[in-house]
Structure 1
């Protein structure tokens, strides 16, 4: 049996979210603040017997913040669905009487277990008696309602899709129309489970928290995983084994107490008391005794773990280990704890591991993930490690992402066939799997774009791709469809921009009489490249038309050619001396680059790129990029499209940077100062974007600033 679905409604940073799981290993990935820890806590509230029942009593802060001040009357719903329920008689009996749904043959094949935090019955009765549209009455009830008016209840056999707004309204009520159900226990909730029936005794569940302060965990007897393991064994020690040890401890206690120094201190204490208080008020007896424990459980608590990391034979305590070593030991002990529990033959074995990558080397992360597989066990990881996501199965991944005040869950494999999923799994290495974590993604085909676009953005716009939450991924091919298929309303609901070349020829490709064999070959290569570019354009634009989350942006020729075409001749010219030793060759190359003729500068810049190697040529150009460099229009389009809409602070930061560049190039200082005031007004909301653009364009109607503003 395994968890097949988790539904969260109005819980912390989840408004309404459904997360699907498979048997075996599952991965939950997401940036910081995307809800991974809250999702795990939701599962623990239903399955973790180590949490007291009081943990399920919600507070005001547990309600989704999107509800704002009007949270009163709303419900928090946390629901787990289970699949592949065992046909074991005891298991079937539990779910037939509690949380299961029987199939046609009478056996339970699906089970649900739902926790609801809702107003208590008297408050629900009050709401149900309101006349439709009685807003004033609703406001009055809600004004009196506090968290003390709420109860927590468990239900089994729930059939509702709680994340469906219509289903939620049917169960809870319509706050806008002021219509609330008359039934106190609507059928969709299922059957209420009383306190006597608990799933804890039937599920082997272990939670391994994010590894924060492992040394402190070992110091605390309550959280020390070694003590937990030892306690589980202490009760199994026979009397025949324990009695000789107890006798030795008693003997040791006696010898310590009988030491001459100990007895001397005892006598001195008696004498000092007698001198100070007199015989009448002195204790009649006084002794100093050793009390080493003789019980197995207490003796085990005195055991410590010693580990050696180096080959010098030294063993030290956990506090002496490296962070990575200490975390690895902690994780190992928790896994062993799970193995011990798993031996109890529970109906489900579920292991939750929160961010196992903390302080652990990347190679160990990947090895741990690939090797950590137990029979008949469901493992759910949360992570923001690209190395773990690299080796995760695409169809077992859930991506959590922030969307405004809420967090959403995406399943990247929804609707994809086996071949598509397999191709994605082969493709997503540690670098490319960054796209699973980004707010938005730009896909490029080669090294030049991968190296230079981040530099261009930082120098010309004044902010980095990382600051914008954009991941730039070099797929090193033109097979963009294989990756962009991830970005879809049914899968990852994030924007994806594709930047690629049309490879239009820079030379006349007509074969003329008298052309050399080499020229004819070059023209043939150019023609085939142009044909491939045209086909790619047709294919990608069709895909773009069918998917509003994907946009495609094309260089007319190649990045290098279009970089010059945009107005960056001097930047390329400045690289030439690094590539030619002889002056004649340098001068000829510079002349062709500066000619302004496509059929001259095009072939020349491509020759230079191939001569140096496209990646190294990009590195050389990157050293010369400044705030005055012109970003080709198709790249600017891609960047502003994929990050749309830009926030006011981001727009203001970009404009501030461009104004500083204008001032550095001799613009009137007073003009820049006055425009800076306008930017600040926009930043604080005193004027809107259109008003700001009008002021800026009136002063600077051309140039990079105008190009950026035209795209906002």
Structure 2
């Protein structure tokens, strides 16, 4: 059984969320304060039987901004469950919440209590006089209703029974967790849970205890131990006298299986360590160890008849992990066999996460986050989905995390646009959360499908060349050119434009646009550093003139372009970025793009 749909209304930053989830691992991504932890807590409010009643009683601050709870309002969280057909224990759990074959829905709601609702209904109480103390929570089936349409005064279905809900196991790992301490403490250690799941027979338990008792008897015979006991008894007698004296021995107390389980600890051996305490390990490996043990607990529980669903909620499982280990751990979570919902800030993780298993939260200026599963909300067909999954490597998946996005063709723009914008406009793109991302080509349409109403609702602007495409650039280098004078993809890209996506193209190409009178000093310094003496001399001569004709500017531009191609455009831009403080011009199309994406 797994959660296939989640609806959240009026809860903190998540004012109106309705998403479909998949079995296996789901990655929640988004900037800070976009609602990732809120989403995990919402799931616990519905499904976690171990959550206290006090925690379920919410406060005024739990309502979304703009929702006035002095008037009748509600916070509603609903989950749809599926995959329980032909599983007796799971069918028994959800039978009272079933809405159709193999689908059940459970709802948490925080709304005015019975007496407050009655007072508002009969007019004995003003609908604007409510206090947070008048609100109460309930947990029940949705009664076949659409959770997006349930009103605050609608009645729900059968209430949830907590004795049944206990069969649904939820484990939550918060971001600031101390796994080292949890591994050491029997109450929280997965080792204790694994011992419980081992389901040892009484004969097996007694066999282990017999071994401990025999060891204890042998220990007591040792002279060191007996002498130590005698010295303690003698000292006690001198301290308290005959009247308060009592017997003292040194040894191991008569063991029970519970005390044995509490005494067992993990011992690690690695890189020169032999049977060492986990504290000798690094934080990252201990984190991986902890998660792997939890996965084993989940796997062993799957075979038990009294388990009706399992869910692991984990914040930032990549904490302290090397990038390659991040991929390995997340790949293991993907194949764990249980549903896992994890928040992450790692591009290494999102680069291997399928789009259908990725939920993107985007904070907007109203303090309400939008939420989308790209493969569904962005209307991608299977081919587009596969294309994007291939494109979204660790570098380009940054666009899923940034507040705003500037997409460019290559590394030339990545190296040079940010310092030029900072120098000429005084705008630090990085500080504003605007990512400049190279897609290494002109296939912008694949990304343009993401940024739309109902998709990823944050601004993305494409900055592209206007006269060259990958097919014609090689021809241009050989002396040919793009005969029709335009990038063939721009017209198609323009059709994707909307409130969150825009395309801005130059007249020619990036290097030619940079070759203006105001930038000659920067370009000359770049050519000199690269050892392009002829180009540097040409630029120095042009810089000495008070003005340049269009023909002269074209000649300068071609010289700059040839030099960039000779040394590599990315290398040329990388060196030029060092001299960005010498630039006096910013191409108008770049300035236009920056203004739009910040708007």
Q: Provide, for residues 383-430 of structure 1, a one-character-per-residue CA deviation record: whole Å limited to 9, x for no partner.
A: 111001000101221111222322221221221100000000000000
Match of 2:371 in 1: 409
Instruction: Give distance in 1, aligned partners of 2:24 and 2:236.
Output: 66
**1:322 aligned onto 2:307:** no
Match of 2:347 in 1: 386
Q: Aligned ranges for residues 544-559 of structure 1 at < 5 Å? A: 544=497, 547-559=498-510
Instruction: Give distance in 2, aligned partners of 1:438 and 1:161.
Output: 34
Identify the match of residue 456 of structure 1 among 396, 417, 420. 420
Match of 1:124 in 2: 117
Shift, 1:258, TM fit:
6.6
Contact 1:231/1:297 (8 A) holds in 2: no
Q: Aligned ranges for residues 32-431 of structure 1 at < 5 Å? A: 32-67=32-67, 70=69, 73-89=72-88, 91-96=90-95, 98-102=96-100, 108-130=101-123, 137-139=126-128, 141-142=129-130, 145-147=131-133, 149-163=134-148, 167-168=149-150, 171-172=151-152, 181=153, 186-187=154-155, 189=156, 191-195=157-161, 198-201=164-167, 203-210=168-175, 212-233=177-198, 236-238=201-203, 240-245=206-211, 247-248=213-214, 251=217, 254-255=220-221, 259-274=226-241, 282-283=243-244, 285-288=246-249, 290=251, 292-310=253-271, 312-345=272-305, 346-374=307-335, 377-403=338-364, 404-414=366-376, 415-431=379-395
TM-score by length of 1: 0.76
Instruction: Give distance in 2, aligned partners of 1:585 and 1:321.
Output: 57
Q: Cα gap change, 1:474/1:284 in structure 2, threshold over 3 Å: closer, same or farther?
A: closer
Larger Rg: 1
Shift, 1:294, TM fit:
0.8
Q: Cα gap change, 1:354/1:588 in structure 2, threshold over 3 Å: closer, same or farther?
A: closer
Q: Aligned ranges for residues 15-30 of structure 1 at < 5 Å? A: 15-30=15-30
Match of 1:643 in 2: 598
Shift, 1:38, TM fit:
1.7
Match of 1:676 in 2: none
Instruction: Give distance in 1, aligned partners of 2:184 and 2:102.
Output: 44
Shift, 1:627, TM fit:
7.3
Q: Aligned ranges for residues 542-581 of structure 1 at < 5 Å? A: 542-544=495-497, 547-565=498-516, 567-580=518-531
Instruction: Give distance in 2, aligned partners of 1:246 and 1:234.
Output: 20
Contact 1:231/1:300 (8 A) holds in 2: no
Q: 3-state DSSP class of the match of 2:581? A: coil
Shift, 1:575, TM fit:
2.6
Q: Provide, for residues 327-355 of structure 1, a one-character-per-residue CA deviation record: whole Å limited to 9, x for no partner.
A: 12111222122122222154434333321
Q: Provide, for residues 473-512 of structure 1, a one-character-per-residue CA deviation record: whole Å limited to 9, x for no partner.
A: 101111111111110112111111000111289xxxxxxx
Q: Provide, for residues 411-457 of structure 1, a one-character-per-residue CA deviation record: whole Å limited to 9, x for no partner.
A: 21221100000000000000000000111111101221111011112
Match of 1:603 in 2: 558
Instruction: Give distance in 2, aligned partners of 1:254 and 1:562.
Output: 89
Instruction: Give distance in 1, aligned partners of 2:341 and 2:309.
Output: 13
Contact 2:184/2:265 (8 A) holds in 1: no
Q: Cα gap change, 1:334/1:209 in structure 2, threshold over 3 Å: closer, same or farther?
A: farther
Contact 1:208/1:334 (8 A) holds in 2: no
Q: Which runs of 5+ in 1 are unaligned?
A: 103-107, 173-180, 506-519, 645-712
Q: 3-state DSSP class of the match of 1:562? A: helix
Match of 1:439 in 2: 403
Instruction: Give distance in 2, aligned partners of 1:498 and 1:115.
Output: 43
**1:490 aligned onto 2:454:** yes
Match of 1:4 in 2: 4
Q: Which runs of 5+ in 2 are unaligned?
A: 470-474
Shift, 1:41, TM fit:
1.6
Contact 2:213/2:254 (8 A) holds in 1: no
Q: Aligned ranges for residues 587-626 of structure 1 at < 5 Å? A: 587-588=537-538, 590-591=540-541, 595-596=548-549, 597=551, 598-626=553-581
Q: 3-state DSSP class of the match of 1:287? A: coil
Match of 1:477 in 2: 441
Instruction: Give distance in 2, aligned partners of 1:608 and 1:436.
Output: 35
Instruction: Give distance in 1, aligned partners of 2:477 and 2:390.
Output: 35
Q: Cα gap change, 1:538/1:261 in structure 2, threshold over 3 Å: closer, same or farther?
A: closer
Contact 2:98/2:105 (8 A) holds in 1: yes
Q: 3-state DSSP class of the match of 1:465? A: coil
Shift, 1:374, TM fit:
4.1
Q: 3-state DSSP class of the match of 1:553? A: strand
Shift, 1:155, TM fit:
1.4
Q: Cα gap change, 1:418/1:207 in structure 2, threshold over 3 Å: closer, same or farther?
A: same
Instruction: Give distance in 2, aligned partners of 1:476 and 1:565.
Output: 25
Aligned positions, number: 583
Shift, 1:128, TM fit:
1.6
| Range that drifts further, 346-355 or 316-325 | 346-355
Q: 3-state DSSP class of the match of 1:192? A: coil
Shift, 1:269, TM fit:
1.8
Match of 1:538 in 2: 491
Q: 3-state DSSP class of the match of 2:590? A: helix
Q: Provide, for residues 160-184 of structure 1, a one-character-per-residue CA deviation record: whole Å limited to 9, x for no partner.
A: 4444xxx35xx22xxxxxxxx5xxx
Q: Provide, for residues 135-189 of structure 1, a one-character-per-residue CA deviation record: whole Å limited to 9, x for no partner.
A: x9333x32xx233x332211114444444xxx35xx22xxxxxxxx5xxxx25x3
Instruction: Give distance in 1, aligned partners of 2:477 and 2:102.
Output: 66
Shift, 1:365, TM fit:
0.8
Q: Cα gap change, 1:585/1:489 in structure 2, threshold over 3 Å: closer, same or farther?
A: closer
Q: 3-state DSSP class of the match of 2:17? A: strand
Q: 3-state DSSP class of the match of 2:51? A: coil
| Range that drifts further, 284-293 or 452-461 | 284-293
Q: Cα gap change, 1:330/1:24 in structure 2, threshold over 3 Å: closer, same or farther?
A: closer
Q: Cα gap change, 1:90/1:232 in structure 2, threshold over 3 Å: closer, same or farther?
A: closer
Shift, 1:79, TM fit:
0.9
Q: 3-state DSSP class of the match of 2:481? A: helix
| Range that drifts further, 565-574 or 430-439 | 565-574
Q: Cα gap change, 1:195/1:627 in structure 2, threshold over 3 Å: closer, same or farther?
A: farther
Q: 3-state DSSP class of the match of 1:527? A: coil
Contact 2:93/2:164 (8 A) holds in 1: no
Instruction: Give distance in 2, aligned partners of 1:237 and 1:389.
Output: 47
Q: Cα gap change, 1:616/1:293 in structure 2, threshold over 3 Å: closer, same or farther?
A: farther
Instruction: Give distance in 1, aligned partners of 2:201 and 2:467.
Output: 75
TM-score by length of 2: 0.89
| Range that drifts further, 191-200 or 569-578 | 191-200
